[in-house]
Structure 1
Amino acid sequence: MYDTIAAISSGNINQAISIIRVSGPEAFDIVSKIFTGKVGKDKTLTFGNIMDQEQMVDEVLVAWFVGPNTFVGEDTVEINAHGGVVNTNKILELILANGARMAENGEFSRRSFMNGKMDLVKAEAINDLIHAKSESQTQLSVKKFDGKTSKLIDELKNKLLNIIATCEVNIDYPEYDDVEQLTTENLLPALMKIENEIKEIVRVSTSSRVIYEGVSVAIVGKPNAGKSSLLNALLQEEKAIVTDTPGTTRDIVEGSLQVGQVLLKIKDTAGIHKTEDKIEKIGIEKSISEISKSDLVIHLIDSKEGQTKEDEEIELAAKGKPYLKVWNKNDLVQQKGISISAKENELKELYEAIEEEFKNIDLNDERIVYNTRQLSLIKASLISIQDAISGLNMQLGPDTIIIDIQKAWDDLANILGKADQEDLLDSMFKNFCLGK
């Protein structure tokens, strides 16, 4: 049996309405000690005053929820107060003084998980939604609420569980004639089918993670191609210094913006060219390094000067990367291809090219697993299954390969939180907001 916890779940700031959440076996009794209105029935609102002995603290609406049919899975009360910081904290103080304990970060969600109201996939999705910084992050987080990803993982677990059970029977009761005899011929296809399913999850998830995390974009080019002007135009602020002097940018300047469904993390780099200046050389080395680390390279070329040998070297350095060749200063000279004017803020063709680059990523694919912890466990389960397949090809018996299959099952179970790992749960929920 849990104790009763409380916290401000709407954020401790001045706002129109604040919400104080109380959850646990004594939630109704504790609130009724300081509330003048009626104790409501399940899923009802009642109006009244919060009192500190004879002194009124606030007029409030109180929502009553009877467990276990609540988010947390236990009796829960939510006090909707006027959103001042002082009165909201006073109400919380009264609740704590009457027997509740201050909730830890994520404790309401943790209880919800422990009470079987949601698995870790949904719990992490809630936290991801709270911290989302782009439309694509929001969309991917909300998609996890429908349980389809959890169902997909559950189905894979069940397939492995059936194989594990059959292996165990073959090991423990080899003399039983009515038990399916496992051989390489019937076990290998089953494992290879699961391997292919997990490979597909890894494939679509890896390609989609760049959308969730943000696309790292390196703006590269020769000095005075207009890289800093482009960064400023994209961000709509004077982030980088713009002068007519070549080589002004010697360090990485960066910022973020949303283009379509993509969050761009843009970096303006030092102009790449031959130089004897030691400081400038360091900047150029950083620029080349950014090309290798980026998800997308925007190669900016001066339309008036045209493509030079140094531009050809930049293009070669970006080989194998998503790459956009962009002609700048189209207000002076027009070139074929993606043509812009950073100075005049004419960027339409660049925006369209960026959206085109990532248009084939389907954020509605239920196989997408963007969460780092979940994806690493899926990859680990894939390795274990591949180890089991290798063992079968080496003519190893069920008693040997079952270890790898069990490991794969454990990894998938940990995605949903179905394995008993207290340390994992502590690490997970401590990153949640207070009152969640």
Structure 2
Amino acid sequence: MLLILNAPPIDVDGELAAMRAELAAIRSRMQDGWMDEERADAVRDIVRDALADSATRTSFLEKEWDAGYDGGEGGGAYFRARDGSATMKLLGMVQNRFVASSAYGPDSAPTQDTNSRWGFETKTIFLVVSGQVIDKSITYVGVMAYTSQTNRFILVPGALRVPYASIRKGIADGVGISMGLLNVPWDLESNYLGSSTLTSGDYSIFNYRFGAGKSPGATVDWTSSWMRATAGAFNQLGTLSTSWDSNTNLSFCVAARAEVKWGIEWSQISRMSAAPGDSPGLVLGLGGCMSNGRGQNPQPPGGLATPSAQGFTADARIMLPPAVLIAQYAYMRDPVGGPELGWYQGVNLQASSFVAPRVEPFVEACWMEDVPVEWIAQAGVNLYEGSSRVKITLKAVIPFGGGNVNGIRAINGGLGIATADNNASFIAQLQLRF
């Protein structure tokens, strides 16, 4: 008891302060450790990302990708693997034009220029992506297009549309299968994705009147050193639908085209013109189609029965560089250029020649029987610059005869002429491919 009584007093506040200090130190050490662990996790993440990026860069370098711009005739930006496993090319085209269409107007008009029109417009914009994936046997092409006027392939003006989308697989030497929104193999214009490679400005009057157009489907193609052929099955011609629907695409179309050549390479007719220095040659073509229209399919303009386009076409191209002569014939049921359903025939004659390295006059005349305007002709000149990537076209379009030139579907806007009673039209167009 005396020991207890005589013991020094306990400093409670001091002890508590010491305990608080020790606890704070422990907490500080624990916090530092937790922060170190967090930093370690972050560092590990950074290292993993760096290693992955390094592997990606190493893979890119090992594959040896190239990127650049093609300064040749077609132009376009490209990306390609040097081992040939993949490529992608981006192309574009813009057409701006001035149109002056002179028409005398209907008989009841108070003046003689009622239907005359003139003005500027951006006629066409094309955006094209193409290339290959996995290996050279799998290729693709996709096209986005804007047009200010209706034409054979686009009936809705002033909007961006997809007129062509194809995937092709080569299955043997010279043999391939394609699926997508494709050119129907029919006339010689079926070989071209767009109108920019045609000699006659940017379209063919014959193709406007008798063309089979584009349709979703599948084709098989074969190419040899002297002959090539394409055959396929499609949705019904004239539906202009890009998807299958049980109410509208119960009908179908089958079509085929074959060509034989002498004296030239196939690459020479990738364009319609014959450049100076090309080889002389001859190309003969034959096409046929059958589309079985049914009553439940969409009705064409004018309340006419559903068209059931079928028939055949034949053509010849004589290449005498720097000149090209073309003759075409068609016998077709329910063509676009017909004012009513039925069988029609027509002929197209076209000639072009370079009179100077960058100057190419051309003339085209198309006849179609039993229509208000049987003959439509055009003549003009193409002026080229920059490996043909810049083209200025000056031309006149003349319908011979009065009346409506449209037929079943309106084609006057693309032709650059008035709907009816047209005297002539003058077109000045600037085209740029890039």
Give the alignment's TM-score, normalised by structure 1.
0.26
Give 1 or 2: higher helix fraction.
Answer: 1
Give 1 or 2: higher strand fraction.
Answer: 2
Larger Rg: 2
Higher relative contact order (CA 8 A, sep 6+): 1
